[in-house]
Amino acid sequence: MAKIDLPRENFTSKFGVIAAAAGSAVGLGNIWRFPYIAGENGGGAFLLVYLLFIIAIGMPVMLSEFSIGRKAQRNAIGSFKKLAPGTPWYFVGVIGVAAAFLILAFYSTVAGWTLEYVVKSATDSFADKTGDEISQLFAAFHTGTFWPLLWQLIFMGVTLAIVMAGIKDGIERYVKILMPLLVLMIIVICIRSLTLPGAAEGVSYLFSPDFSRLTTEGVLAALGQAFFSLSLGMGTLITYGSYISKKEKLGSTVTQVTIADTVIAMLAGIAIFPAVFAFGIAPDAGPGLVFETLPNVFQEMAGGYFFGLIFFILLSIAALTSSISILEVVVAYMKEELNMTRRSASIFAAAIITLLGVLCTLSFGVMQEVTIFETRLFDLMEFSASDVLLPIGGLLIVLFIGWYLGAARTREEVSNDNSLKVRYFPAYMFLIKFIAPVAIAIVFLYGIGLLNI
């Protein structure tokens, strides 16, 4: 069945494209997830491997996703149907849509926590509390039922409202001013954190690589985190790519988004690890790390009340610009392939995701006994999406570009019909065809224990 190519909604400006893609990339992944995953996997060595994956795998995959989306002008599943008609390649998009459900489910749990922390900061709840008391506050809150659920519902409601309003009016507008402000806030926090007594230990934990602390699972976690943080492997950037105008330079968009995302993750690490050690918190404390650490830093800061409040507001907004990009993957698919309206697709998708999300939230509290493979539901969804589905999605995307679409057709898209030079193209193609697929496959198979040294 042939589809007529209607003119599609596009991002309206160069800055809009970068803002939207960076808005997707920068989020809880950088500030909540990066420090805690790095902490669990030994710090410095993890960081090195992570950076290597960002450059050798993340950037090429991002360029591939943008190219696929912009060439096809479709959603994550439709793009493959259009570029590879009559083949099973569309299955890559199916994996992406499945990942979107899982990721937004647990993402909205944590985003709900940040909303609670906006209120806790506003009401000065951390005032005069010791480190232990601050940790207890987090424990009491996130194992509860009513408040974590209410915040999650509110967060999903706002995400839904923005996605329902559509790409142009919804997504672009919010990211332009708030991202730079977030960076500024984190820099201020970094300065305070680095000047705490005992900060040096945290700096060395993050920056001196001790490879004896890095396991094969840790290497897989670094790969999963690279994909998660850059919003790769599930068609988010295929979907956004389809909204990028044919005049934009994809290569430089990739570079700018990657730099923004990586710098913010590093700054988050520098803000958190010195404080982790200064306040005697365990670096492998898990998903609560940021929530237990940063309130201590704000306490020790002149104007800490104000900084804490602004920080958690900005973090919630950063989470929102990511969550809309996750929901958009599902909505664009339902709208274009299942002929649903944007409105009903958004409501339907958000409702199912919220149901899953409720399970994630409750798995810290009343449902903590319900485990699968002795794993809490939250962790199970987080692991299976980030460390399994995203790498598999990424692997298939690079195979698609490298071995199906091929150099000529890809070059056409990346170079805006050969009007740009794209000197990096041969290196990109080499990474895509050989290095990235082999590396992803090996890391994945070792990481899940299917191969053994």
Applying CB under 6 A, the residues found at the interface with ligand PHE are 24-25, 27-30, 103, 228-229, 231, 234, 236, 322, 325-326
User: Count of H helices and E strands in the chain?
Assistant: 22, 2
What Cα–Cα distance (Å) separates residue 342 from each residue in 70, 331, 333?
20, 7, 10
DSSP sequence for 406-418? HHHHHHHHHTTTT
- Shortest gap between Cβ of 224 and ligand PHE (angstroms)? 10
Nearer to ligand PHE, 72 or 111 (CB): 111
Nearer to ligand PHE, 74 or 192 (CB): 74
Nearer to ligand PHE, 257 or 436 (CB): 257
* φ and ψ at residue 152, rounded to 5 degrees: -65, -45
- Shortest gap between Cβ of 325 and ligand PHE (angstroms)? 5
- Shortest gap between Cβ of 264 and ligand PHE (angstroms)? 9
Nearer to ligand PHE, 59 or 301 (CB): 59
Angle between helices 289-299 and 91-122 (to 10 degrees): 30
Mention every residue, 6+ apart, whose C-beta is less than 8 A from residue 302: none
- Shortest gap between Cβ of 249 and ligand PHE (angstroms)? 22
- Shortest gap between Cβ of 211 and ligand PHE (angstroms)? 26
Nearer to ligand PHE, 321 or 410 (CB): 321
Nearer to ligand PHE, 10 or 258 (CB): 258
Length in residues, the chain: 453
- Shortest gap between Cβ of 78 and ligand PHE (angstroms)? 18
- Shortest gap between Cβ of 208 and ligand PHE (angstroms)? 25
Mention every residue, 6+ apart, whose C-beta is less than 8 A from residue 3: none
How many Å apart are CA 199 and CA 186, to the nearest integer?
16
Nearer to ligand PHE, 397 or 429 (CB): 397
- Shortest gap between Cβ of 322 and ligand PHE (angstroms)? 4
- Shortest gap between Cβ of 222 and ligand PHE (angstroms)? 14
Nearer to ligand PHE, 16 or 96 (CB): 96
* φ and ψ at residue 417, rounded to 5 degrees: 55, 45
Report long-range pairs for 130-136 (Cβ below 8 Å, ≥24 apart): 131/279, 131/280, 131/281, 131/292, 131/296, 134/292, 134/295, 134/296, 134/299, 135/281, 135/288, 135/292
How many Å apart are CA 84 and CA 90, to the nearest integer?
8
Instruction: Give all strands (DSSP E) within 291-427, no chain letters.
Output: 371-372, 375-376
Nearer to ligand PHE, 137 or 317 (CB): 317
Q: Single out the residue of 156, 88, 53 nearest to residue 387, CA to CA.
A: 53
* Minimal CB distance residue for ligand PHE: 29
Q: Which two tokens stand for residue 163?
A: 């996605």
